[in-house]
Amino acid sequence: MKIDEYLKDLPATRDETWFNNLDSRKKEEASFHDYVRAEEAVKGEAGKRRNLKFYKITWKSKAYVRSWLRKHVIGKVFLDYACGDGRHSEDVLKTSCQRLLVGLDISSESIKICNDKLGHINPKCKKYFIQGDCENTGFPDNSFNIILCSEVLHHLDLHRAFSELYRILSPGGRILCVEALGINPIIQWYRNKTPDLRTEFETHHILTPKAFKIAEDCGFVVEEVKYWHLFAIPSAFFYTNKFLFNVLLNIGNALDCVFLKIPGFQKLAWQFTFVLRKR
């Protein structure tokens, strides 16, 4: 069965029976992110989590992800794997001409937001946003040419997720992964001190380069590994002072450009990106 045929009659959100059949870890993930989306919808900026100030420094990695996607999704079947509120899908729909876009997320609130916000964008592109289990998508084999995994793998069992991703990716297809890195002891200390910002499973499964071995065991080739954000992090504490924030961020980014290319030292970074290719 082709992916278009599979998707055409699939409901956007699942019923209570589907949810009840999830294991406890996945129920917690779904409920946590439903709550986060609902808070954001009701409270706006005030509902956003307090750690989001750190994401204000990540424009360089975000620019890399946008550029990579715009280059690779043209004319392709694209999956936004754990699409969240659809920020990456929105950019792809506004800037590229892909054949088909699919957003998948375990949170029903996230899927409702995506369908409400993105359904009218780029009407020539077929698009589906559906609730589902990233470790057991149900998609036909070899369905997607390009997949984005942004800030999701640490929510999942890597062996199951990589096996499922390998199954649904077409031969020659590529997956761009964007993840936090779980090596820097200061960053890990902060994660341990802010348990309300994430699920318990997430806290204890931040990725390290050991993930590459799991991906390779599933059949992938690991390429284009890059490390992001270390000396730029302190500037986040000054984000309310635009001038000082920009000065410190520029200095931090300049230092990161040098030091995050040094083998070993680069693994102290906050985030890393890498590409998985299916032969």
Give me the average pLDDT of each 10-residue run along the chain (279 residues).
Answer: 90 96 95 88 56 92 97 96 96 90 97 95 93 97 98 96 98 98 95 86 92 98 98 96 97 98 96 97
Q: Rounded to an integer, what distance in angstroms lies between the CA atom of residue 89 and that of residue 69?
A: 10
256 CB-near residues (< 8 Å, 6+ apart): 60, 228, 229, 230, 231, 232, 269
For residue 121, the tally of other CB atoms under 10 A from its CB is 15
pLDDT of residue 199: 84
pLDDT value of residue 1: 74
- Give strand pairing partners of 78: 101, 146
Which burial class, exposed, middle or buried, applies to 141 when counting CB atoms under 10 A from its CB (0-12, 13-18, 19+)?
exposed
74 alpha carbon, distance to own chain's centre: 20
> Alpha-carbon distance 41 to 109, whole Å?
10
- Name the token pair of 279: 């032969």
Fold of 3-278: Rossmann fold (3.40.50)
What is the pLDDT at residue 97? Answer: 80
Q: How many CA atoms lie within 13 A of 251 on its CB side?
A: 8
pLDDT of residue 277: 98
Residue 201: C-alpha distances to residues 28, 101, 163, 208, 263 (Å) = 9, 29, 20, 15, 29
CA–CA separation, 223 and 277 (whole Å):
7
pLDDT of residue 200: 82
- pLDDT at position 47: 45
The pLDDT value given to residue 43 = 61
Q: What is the pLDDT of residue 49?
A: 57
Nearest of 70, 73, 74, 86 to residue 33 by alpha carbon: 86
Q: What pLDDT sits at residue 46?
A: 44
Q: Where are the domains of the chain?
A: 3-278
Its pTM stands at 0.94
Amino acid present at 232 = A
Q: What is the CA radius of gyration of the chain?
A: 19
What is the per-residue pLDDT for 84?
95
